[in-house]
Amino acid sequence: MSRTRGGSLVMSAGSARLSPLGAPPARSLLRSPKGLATALTVLLGLCGATRLLSAAAGVNRYRTLDSYGLATGLGHPGTLVTISASLVMMAMVPTAVVFIVWFHRVRVNAGVYARGAIRGGAGWAIGVWFIPVVGWTVLPCLIAMKVWSVSASRLPGKAALTSPAPVFTWAGTFGAALLASGGANWFAGRAASDDAVGDAILLAAGSDLVYAVAAVSAVFFVRRLSALQSAG
């Protein structure tokens, strides 16, 4: 500091200057999805396991249908079906919530990587899941393909690592599981004989197996896409 003739104080030439006040810098919207991917790996594993249990319970009920009929009281094979169905729901609900959160996160990241490359706002990564039929199959697949393409563009020259096959596998198996489940429910609602009921039980068990395959496919899709976005 130095004093002028008028007695006022001024900053000396060698002193530091204060930066002007202003708004703080905007926070980046970019976030790593690896934590959500790890949680989804566990949850999807639980979904697959409960679907396998449900399929086994269905097959067991079919095999004992002649002995127990359609009874579902305590001690009957139908009890295992009821328990496994409850476990399926307990695993599916939190998995769906975390998956949607993860899906929105990777969509936001893709918007940071290439602004304007994907039509519609990032909110559609959440909104599409509330649209029946196409919102559970076609629309998420289209968004996932765009997100994958933008994320893969960050790793030029690594075609083997950026192949979109996990997207198609996930979307295809999940769509097949929805169709199989819907067909089994439709057939069960119209079963009018013991044989038809038995066939409906086997169809439901088959749809559970397809869901288990879809859960495995989803794990590969989630982990590969998360790895693309986390790569330096």
Determine the pLDDT at residue 138: 92
Residues 6+ apart with CB under 8 A from 94: 43
Give the separation between CA 226 and CA 224, rounded to whole angstroms. 5
pTM: 0.81
Residues 6+ apart with CB under 8 A from 119: none
Q: Which amino acid is at 63?
A: R
Percent above pLDDT 90 for the chain: 55
Percent above pLDDT 70 for the chain: 79
How many residues comprise the chain? 232
Q: CB–CB of 146/110 below 8 Å?
A: yes
Give the separation between CA 85 and CA 223, rounded to whole angstroms. 27
* DSSP state letters, 68-95: HTT--STTSHHHHHHHHHHHHHHHHHHH
CA 218, 219, 224, 230 torsion: positive or negative?
positive
DSSP 50: H
What 11-20 contacts at long range (C-beta under 8 Å, 24+ apart), as own/partner pairs, is none
Q: What is the pLDDT of residues 162-203, one digit of tens each?
A: 789 999 999 999 999 999 999 988 988 887 777 888 888 899
- Taking the CA of residue 25 as centre, how many other CA atoms within 13 Å lie in the half-sphere pointing to its CB? 3
Q: Which of 20-34, 47-61, 82-96 has the lowest mean pLDDT?
A: 20-34
